[in-house]
Each structure stands twice: as C-alpha cells, then as structure tokens.
Amino acid sequence: MGNNRWIRNSLIYLLIIIGVIVVFYTLIPSFGSSEQLSITDVFNDVRSGKVDQIIVDGEKLTVIPRTTIGGEATKYTSRIGENADFYTLLNEAVDLDRLTSPPKVDYKGSGGFGSIFGILLNFLPLIFFGGLILLMMRQAQGSNNQTMSFGRSRARMMPFNRPSVTFNDVAGVDEAKAELEEVVDFLKYPERFLSLGARIPKGVLLVGPPGTGKTLLARAVAGEAGTPFFHISGSEFVEMFVGVGAARVRDLFEQAKRNAPCILFVDEIDAVGRHRGAGLGGGHDEREQTLNQILVEMDGFETNTNIIVIAATNRPDILDPALLRPGRFDRRVTLDLPDVVGRGAILKVHVAGKPLSNEISIEIVARETPGFSGADLSNLVNEAALLAARKNQSSIFMADFEEAIERVIAGPERKSRVISQREKEMTAYHEAGHALVAWLLPHADRVHKISIVSRGNMGGHTTLLPDEDRYLWTKNQFQDMLGVMMGGRVAEELIFDEVTTGASNDIERATKTALGMVKRYGMSSSLGPRTFGKREELVFLGREISEERDYGDKIAEEIDVEVRHLINSAYRQAQQHLMDYKPKLVQIAEYLIEHEAISGDALRRLFNDDPPGIESEPARPIPAPSPYAPPAPPVTHGDPLPQSGPFIRQFGHQRSSIGSAARRRLAYRITPSPLMGEGWGEGENPADVTTWATPPFILSPSKDPLSLDGRGLEPAPYLIRG
C-alpha cells in the first residue's frame, strides 16, 4: 500500500515537471532566433546577395546571412505556406543564374515520425492538463472527503460490536437513562412489546443545558443497542449548493433503511430544525427544504421503516412545531443539572482508575460543586489530576480538588499580579463585608471560603454554598441575597469613608435581582402579584434575548421606585449589621490581609471567636431595632427585656452573640395564653430563652421555617466577586 502510494505520487510530480517543460518550450520562442521575417523579405535578401544559407524544415525557414554583427551571424526565420515547395518559389521569385553567389538550400527531414511527434507536441499540454484533472477527480471521489459527492450523506456508522461507551459510564441522569434503555430493549426484544400491541417510538428528543450528557447518552445507546448506529451533526446537512441538504437527508435515510433496525442520532438538530419562515429566503431557504425532507422521512407514507431517530438540542424553543409532534419525536427527555446525589455518582465514574488519597471524600466534593454539569465535573477531575502531576505527587489529594474547584469557578491564581498595600486592605474589607453579612442574615447561604487572591479578573471572592439543592426561591432569600451583595460596598464606606469600583459587579447583579423580583416574580408589595414585560429567552442557556414592554411610563416609574427601595433597604440592612459587628469585620479583614484566604474549620472558628478587645471596649450605644423586623407583640405580664442585645433577628427576637453557640440554638414557639398573643423565642433550652416578654408563656420546640435551622438554599455556588 505504501509503495503504490509512493509510485502514484511520483508519477504525479513527473507529469507536472514534463508539463512545465512542454509549456516552456511551446510558448517561449527559441533563444537563437532574433526575429521572424516574411518570405518576401527573404527573397529580397537573396537578390541582394546577403544570404549565405537557407535551411528548410517543413514550413519553417532558417536564414543565415553572409554579413555578421560583432563577428557573429544574425539568423532569422520565416515560414512558407502549407504544402508549398520552397525551391520552386525561390526560382519563380529570384533569377538564381544571375547571382554571383547563390545561397545554399538545405532540407531537413520532417516527414514520418517527426511530423507525428510535432502533432503530439502541439496537443501535449491539452493532454497533460486533462489527465491531471481526471486524476484529481478520481482521488477526490475515492477519499473520505468526497469532494464531488455533494449529495452523499456525511453520517458515520459506529461499530456496534465494539462499544466504547455503555450505560455503566452514564451517571446522574437515571430517568433519562431509563427512557433510552427502554428504546434499546425494544430493538433487542421487540416481541415483548409487540405482544401487547405497543409500537416502537419514532424519535426521542434529548433537551437540556450544555454539558449535561446528551451526546454521551446517545453514545451509550450506540454501545448497548447491538444494532447499527449512525451519527451526524445538524450542521452537516446544509451546504451552499441548492438541494444538497435534502439530497443528504434522502441518502441518510436510505442508508438507515438498508441497515434497519438501526438508530440514527442527529446532534444539535436546532441547526437545521428551526421554525420555518424565519430565514431570509422564506420558503425557498435551503435549510427549510432540508427540514421538509426530514419531516417527510420521519413520518411520511412509509411508516414501518424500523428506524429510531434520537436528536439532541439545547434550544427546544426554536424548533419547528411539526418536528416536535408525536409520530416524529414521540418522547422528549429533559436532562437537567445533576443534584448532589447525581454529582457524586458522576464523580465516581470520572475518578475510576485514578490514584486518590484516602482523605478524599466524593460526597464533600459533590456538596461543594452545586450547579456543575457532567462536563464541568469531568473537567474538574482532570484539573485536579493535572495539579497533582504538576506537584509530582503520586496520588490526588483533597487540596487538589479544592484548588481545581476554584480554578473552574473563578480561574487560575494570578500570582504575578502586584497590588499596593492599600488595595489589598480594601479588598480584604470588601470580602469580609460580604462574608459577615452572609453569616448574620438568616436566609443567606453558608459562607464556604473567603479569599483576596486575585483570580481571573477578580481581586478577591467570597464563596457561598447551600447545604442542599434548591429549586424555589422565597422573597426573604432574595432580600438577604441583596444584603450580601451590598456588604462589600458598605464595608468600604464604613472603614475607608469612600467607595471603589470593586462593587460594580455586585451592584449590577443586585439590580438584576431586584428587577426580577418586581417584574418577573411579582414580589412587589405596591405593584402586586403580576409580571411586567414579555421576555424572549434561551431556556436552557440562561440568557435573555429581548423583552417586549407591555406597560406604560407610570408603571415603569413605579418599577424604578420599587427596585430602588429594595436595593436601598438591602444597603441599610447590611450597613446596620456591619456597624453592630464592626470589631468582627476588622478581625476578619486583618486575618485575610495576613493569610489571604480562609475556609473550613478555620473560617468557623474565626466567626465563633469574639473580636479582640470587644470585652474591654466601653459600652457602645444601643442600636435601634432593625426596620426590617416586624413589631413586637404587646406585653401585658411582666417587664419587657431591655434592648441590650447587639442584634435583633427579622422575626423579632434578640440574639445575644454570633457564633456556633447561637447557631446551635433552637427556635421555640411561645404558646399563647388566654391573656397573651403568640411570640418567638431563642435559646439552647427552654430555661434560658430570651424574648421580649415574660411568662405566662409555655415554651415548646418548633420546626417552623422561621427557626434558626430553616435556612434557604441555592442551586449554584454563590460567588461574591470582589
């Protein structure tokens, strides 16, 4: 095979060289000829006695004069008519007997083989280029690119007898896997379904965000089915030539019919399956012609083709309705981001075969990666392995996973970035403000890590993690999230009496959140439970394309007022908390300035310890009750407790300190007596509950959502950018 290819390539190069030589000698005149004269000029020179010799070569004459220029004869050429006899013409034109020295006339043989060679020489360039084009066409048709076969399908058939991916390699999408396992069972054991009158599904549409395993699941189907499996991308149907897309669809289904029963997988079908009539070409758009052919092939007059079509997309909202109806895609399987259990299962698949340290806990890594897709988790494991290899370790440690998580979320460390001491201090107080407000607010997520190490385009970051996955948000959770976002800017203003550009992203996200509360979720008390604006967005990509305004200027002004009220309230809330706990803010910031990052047990200890010198400080003014707390119920028995606690929770009870002790306390429902209303208390046991009223209340434990442990959760790592 290698020798034949070498011979073929050598022949091509040889033909090219010969062709260049032939073209050179055919198109470029002879170097020895200075000029070409007419036959009349030749006869005149003969009469004048200037010609010494004439060489006749067919129709060509070479004239050698007697005179020389610079000691060298200057030859020239001429031509006579076809089939003419030069000597006869010469005798008729010139009286050779009167010449003192007539020229010598020599004839060169030009018949037979020479004439044939001359003819071939004239046609050789045409023969050469024709052969070269023919050779290129044959090579193109025989190669994989099939340059001239525009109408041929580009689908590849995977070898079903050597599966590379099976259902054992797919985790975290159990429901989707079960749906496709049933399709595989139908192909393997059709009699089990046909005996009950069931028919094979025509198509399965896999929808979901990028990286959730749609293509991987299709590859697993190919490995499990034991039948031919064709796969093609939606963009491979359409070309610049009219009719190519429809021809490729026909050829694809012809191949599938010849190999039925089989599975046909179309990846990114939105490239060819968009709404018809949306293109610039209208009904004559090449993409629409291709889609029409797909619709006919999937559910036309031929219904018993025994071909299952599996398609994947993350844009189901733009697909043509005719493509989505039953009979074409009977099933729609949604692959969402995995929950904590699914992430653990996916991580176990990806770490299989890798040397892990005994300290690694897959469950902890799964809890620290909410919002990660399957592709993100695969990249995370690979990043951890690369970090371990960079350190010349023999196994992967938990620290490698922690660093890999930060690299995936925020980017690699920018260790070479030089910042001034003042900027470092401002960044430390900014991040400490975020973290402290998040720790204080009851509905905020748990603070996981604080860092002032520059990553990507961030000077620092505070990572908040939920304790479990969340699928619903409450108004209190949104309000506390706004307060956390404002914490960084408030800390800058409180400590340095000025603000920086570091809070620009926080303000942008807070504005977007407040707008969503008012316009989308109906959480405005003044505007009521309704939405404003018709949005067009990418459902699984999380991006909004446009919004149609369906309200007037007065409502728009009220929306602005409500958004401003939400943000300003969150700002005042964060300001109140940081003023009350300014020593703790200073302690956290100083720790960050010295150590640059803190997480885990060290972070919990830092929050639990009292700030340095707080016991010896003079008594500070008692802060006013928080404007965000509901009014306390009236007291009819006993004296109310003095407002001596440094913090009042939103649901009206006092909190004596910050730290794990306060977090461990239980919330108690205060059972109303005939003389009293209902209230709330807090304490480690009923005996030391502090509240705003005294007995006759009867205390009983409660699991009410307003308890200290009833914290809200978030479906993704909440990263406060510095």
Which three-class secondary structure string do you get for 290-302?
HHHHHHHHHHCCC
Tens of pLDDT, residue by residue over 483-510, are 999 999 999 999 999 999 889 999 999 9
Q: Cis peptide leading into 29, omega within 30 of 0?
A: no
Residues paired with 332 in a beta bridge = 205
Pairwise CA distance, residues 229 & 225, whole Å: 8
Any idea how long the chain is? 722
The whole-number pLDDT of residue 393 equals 92
Contact yes or no for 165/216 (Cβ under 8 A): yes
Pairwise CA distance, residues 435 & 493, whole Å: 16
The string over 309-328, giving b where at least 16 C-beta atoms fall within 10 Å of a residue's C-beta and e elsewhere, is: bbbbbbbbeebbebbeeeeb
Pairwise CA distance, residues 627 & 677, whole Å: 22
Tens of pLDDT, residue by residue over 400-441, are 999 999 888 888 888 777 788 999 999 999 999 999 999 999
pLDDT band at 251 (very low <50, low <70, confident <90, very high): confident
Tens of pLDDT, residue by residue over 696-717, are 333 333 333 333 233 332 333 3
11-25, 203-217, 628-642 — which is least confidently predicted?
Answer: 628-642
Tens of pLDDT, residue by residue over 524-562, are 888 889 888 876 655 555 555 556 788 888 999 999 999
* Most confident of the ranges 75-84, 104-113, 488-497: 488-497
Is the pLDDT reported for residue 283 higher than 80?
A: no
**What is the token pair recorded at 114?**
């020479």
Pairwise CA distance, residues 451 & 428, whole Å: 8
Is the pLDDT reported for residue 658 higher than 60?
A: no
Q: Cis peptide leading into 696, omega within 30 of 0?
A: yes
The whole-number pLDDT of residue 617 equals 34
Enzyme catalytic residues: 431
Residues paired with 396 in a beta bridge = 356
Please return the burial class of 37, using the count of CB atoms within 10 Å of its CB with bins 0-12, 13-18 and 19+.
middle
User: Between residues 592 and 154, which one has the greater pLDDT?
Assistant: 592
107 half-sphere exposure, CB direction, 13 A CA radius: 7
Tens of pLDDT, residue by residue over 32-62, are 445 677 777 777 877 777 787 787 777 777 7
**What is the token pair recorded at 470?**
């969340």
Pairwise CA distance, residues 44 & 545, whole Å: 89
The whole-number pLDDT of residue 86 equals 74
The whole-number pLDDT of residue 657 equals 34
Contact yes or no for 679/693 (Cβ under 8 A): yes
* Most confident of the ranges 97-111, 324-338, 656-670, 693-707: 324-338
The whole-number pLDDT of residue 579 equals 93
The whole-number pLDDT of residue 534 equals 77
pTM of whole model > 0.75?
no
Pairwise CA distance, residues 138 & 369, whole Å: 55
Is the pLDDT reported for residue 147 higher than 90?
A: no
Label the pairing between strands 461-465 and 718-721.
Answer: antiparallel
Pairwise CA distance, residues 507 & 176, whole Å: 39
The whole-number pLDDT of residue 678 equals 38
Residues paired with 597 in a beta bridge = 451
The whole-number pLDDT of residue 200 equals 79
pLDDT, mean of residues 76-105: 73
pLDDT band at 582 (very low <50, low <70, confident <90, very high): very high
The whole-number pLDDT of residue 355 equals 92
Amino acid at the residue 98: R
Pairwise CA distance, residues 200 & 183, whole Å: 8
Average pLDDT, the chain: 74
Is the pLDDT reported for residue 318 higher than 80?
A: yes
Q: How far is CA 689 from the centre of its chain?
A: 53
Is the pLDDT reported for residue 4 higher than 70?
A: no
Instruction: Give SS3 for 534.
Output: strand
Contact yes or no for 431/450 (Cβ under 8 A): yes
The set of residues, in sequence order, having a beta carbon less than 8 Å from that of 648 and lying 6+ positions away, is: 625, 626, 629, 654, 655
pLDDT, mean of residues 503-518: 93
54-58, 159-163, 580-584, 593-597 — which is least confidently predicted?
Answer: 159-163
Q: What is the DSSP letter of 366?
A: H
Tens of pLDDT, residue by residue over 54-64, are 877 777 777 77
pLDDT, mean of residues 95-108: 74
101-105, 607-611, 643-647 — which is least confidently predicted?
Answer: 643-647
Tens of pLDDT, residue by residue over 374-407, are 999 999 999 999 999 999 999 999 999 999 998 8
Say what percent of the chain tops pLDDT 90.
Answer: 23
**What is the number of other CB atoms lying within 10 angstroms of the CB of residue 251?**
16
The whole-number pLDDT of residue 492 equals 94
Contact yes or no for 171/349 (Cβ under 8 A): yes
**What is the token pair recorded at 721?**
């950018």
The whole-number pLDDT of residue 387 equals 93
Pairwise CA distance, residues 682 & 676, whole Å: 18
